Chains A and B, each alone.
Chain A
Amino acid sequence: MKTWLTAEITTSAFHARAQRFYYGWLRLRANRLAFAGFCILVGLCVVAILAPLLAPEGSNEQSLALRLRPPSREHWFGTDELGRDIFARIVWGARITIRISCLVAVIAAPIGLAVGTAAGYFGGWVDTVLMRLNDIFLSFPGLILALGFVAALGPGIGNAVIAIALTAWPPIARLARAETLTIRASDYIAAVRIQGAGPLRIILRHIVPMCVPSVVVRITLNMAGIILTAAGLGFLGLGAQPPTPEWGAMLSTGRQNMLGAWWLAAVPGLAILLTSLAFNLFGDGLRDVLDPRSE
């Protein structure tokens, strides 16, 4: 297997791609902090997948007799004001966090890429229109804009995702446009143009693959902010609605009992901190991994 992956001569398209992934993986392994971030994220996914096993009682099992218990052997992270086990809520909440971040990435990255590459490649009035639109979105602080959207669309996780995605695409479009401007002037784009390729083909097959690495890095680094915005919306009561175990909403309700029961706010707060930190570390390392010059 190893000799196949490091072979001097690659024998198929699949082989070549596998080899590229393998070398990227080695570079990620070599970068300790990034790898630590990667491990935390993998751990988070595992926790989310295994939620039914880790916390079989579910996230909304109330027991008013056990209100506000500090962390103990039965309740690792303590219980909240309704006697719900905080560990179980954190575990189930991981699913929501992952769902929000993935959905936002899946919505925002393609929009940003499409707008940015089109503006960069066509230039002229297309560029002007798209970029002014972009400026409008950029000129609002993300959370405020998201607040506005949620206020208009109504609270809930689905609407929160749409609202956050709408605030997350403009920086990506900016980045993609800047990359496209340099790529467009390169000889390999000129070469495919004189093979008779049309604009759509050039953008999709030749420009986008060059933009994807930096967009992936950017969105990974932004993920921390996305999670915080989601938590912020939850905190303000505009994101996930009770009794959904969303970390930001947990933090918000925990705040009322903060003086007497610190774990209510501290545990979800730490979970948010750890996850955004992991995204940041991983994103930083991805930059090196995805850079073709380092191959």
Chain B
Amino acid sequence: MIAVQELRVRFGQGAGSVQAVDGVSFDVAEGETFGLVGESGCGKSTILRALCGLNPAWTGAVAIAGAPLARPPGRAFFRRVQMVFQDPYASLHPRHTVNTTLMEPLAIHGMDDRDRRVAEVLLQVGLGPAFRYRYPHQLSGGQRQRLAIARALILEPRVLLLDEPTSALDVSVQAEILNLLSDIRAARGLTCLLVSHDLAVIAHLCDRLAVMQHGRIVEQLDVGMLAGGRTNTAYGTSLLQASLGYDRRLARAGIEEGPI
């Protein structure tokens, strides 16, 4: 469903430029959920932005749902691929009501039966009709993220790109959103690409994952290997240990700073 070959993204030009993504290749099968995990600046979000057409400055070969990714992608592309952003406080237009936010994509693509579609998708994300004419500032963080998910779903995409969808939320709300995502994925047979710095979230939602560092994929493994602690690289192991909680013995050993 998603095939990425030798993807490279460079920011800036000349001496000050940064190779944010440096030759990344991976495949995601239909209906599968693939995770990209790594620390900030490792290039994981940059990959998502390139895949959804927000950043045209990439090289390599990308095919989504069988069609190669064009620059700029045509309008039809966005009906197949949608994205949920990290921070629901930033990703919703502050002056648009829930209704306006959801109507907008339908108007762009000239879809019919708009009223029914909006009502349906609101129910599906668990918001209900009472929320339809509210502004984002009248919603809690979890409700905002539900709305952002509804907005991504209303075009009925086949691929959902998730950029740290729960990292701005409290843990109890995170559980609700993760449950919602797994329900929707099952109901619609979605293919998902999940980016996160939180290995536990990746392990919960994904089938396979890739560990990224400095713009490259260091290793790819499936969730069973992760659960069994069978990581293949030192970096993957340290990431796994760090996300299991603080361990005085291990942490003391790694106390020396890395590069500045």
Contacts and interface: CB of A to CB of B under 8 A. Distances in A.
Interface stretch (B19-27, B90-98, B244-252): B90-98
Nearest to A188: B93
Chain B residues touching A, range:
35 or more
A194 B83 contact: yes
Given A13-B133, A292-B94, A196 B108 contact: yes
Interface size class of A (residues with CB under 8 A): 20 to 34
Interface string A1-26: 00000000111110110001000000
B71 interface: no
B92 A16 contact: no
B130 interface: yes
Contacts of A124: none
A186 B52 contact: no
Contact of A292 (B52, B95, B104, B155): B95
B133 A15 contact: yes
Q: Tell which of A12, A186, A192, A196 has the most Cβ of chain B within 10 Å.
A: A196
B108 A197 contact: yes
A255 interface: no
B interface, by DSSP: helix, strand, loop or mixed? Answer: loop
A65 B91 CA distance: 72
A29 B215 CA distance: 55
Nearest to B87: A187
Interface string B29-45: 00000000000000000
A13 B108 CA distance: 19
Contacts of A194: 52-54, 78, 81-83
Contacts of B86: 187
Interface stretch (A80-88, A201-209, A263-271): A201-209
B174 interface: no
A188 B90 contact: yes
Nearest to B148: A191
Contacts of A197: 104, 108
Interface string A183-222: 0001110111111110001000110011000000000000
Interface string B140-151: 000000001001
Nearest to B81: A194
Which 8 residue pairs across A and B have the least CB separation, nearest first?
A187-B91, A196-B78, A195-B105, A196-B75, A10-B133, A16-B133, A187-B90, A188-B93
Interface of A: 9-13, 15-16, 20, 186-188, 190-197, 201, 205-206, 209-210, 292, 295
Given A20-B135, A195-B151, 9 more contacts: A188-B94, A194-B82, A196-B75, A196-B78, A196-B109, A201-B108, A209-B95, A210-B94, A210-B95
